[in-house]
Amino acid sequence: MTRHSYTLLIAAFLILSGCNRSIEGQTDPVSTYDQFGSSTTPEGALPVQAVMADAAQLAGGTVKVEGVIAEVCQNAGCWLTMATAEGELLRVDVPRDSSGAYVYTFPKDISGRRVIVAGPLSSGEESSHDDHHSEEAHSEQEAEVMEQTGLVLVASGALVER
């Protein structure tokens, strides 16, 4: 081998080893979350404050929202809420399949964790949340949440921070 070949070989080795180091330091953002429902990613998620501020423009469309879980349904895990700093609540409902069963449910012990949800956003009046539980199953917690929420997102997919 010539001196020029050795130089090229060393340069190629250094370049490839440098590329490998940058990949090793990266982590897959989805690996820090538990997935529920349809696959989704953190990219493009709007903060819950921004969604609440632009509710009139966003209602009726599909949005991806991120925030901290304030409360979770303690009966079935079929809904959760996210709160803004001002205390406004966004309710996130779990969709049902054609037989009426929940597509998935949330664990009941995830309050305080970061969540990213994606799905159609509507005003609370358009929601069918009242059909989620029988009248006997509605707790005081659920009644209060239903009174306080103005927007509802039916989450086709969700990422909950581990």
Q: What is the CATH number of the domain that holds 124?
A: 2.40.50.140
Parent domain of 55:
29-161
Q: Which residue has the tokens 């921004």?
A: 50
In a domain, 17, yes or no: no
In a domain, 9, yes or no: no
pTM attached to this predicted model: 0.73
Total count of domains within the chain: 1
Lowest mean pLDDT among 25-39, 44-58, 69-83: 25-39
82-112: b (≥16 Cβ within 10 Å) or e: bbbeeebbbbbbbbeeeeeebebbbeeebee
Q: pLDDT by residue (tens digit) across 90-115? A: 999 999 999 999 999 999 999 999 99
CB distance 84 to 29 below 8 Å: no
SS3 124: helix
In a domain, 20, yes or no: no
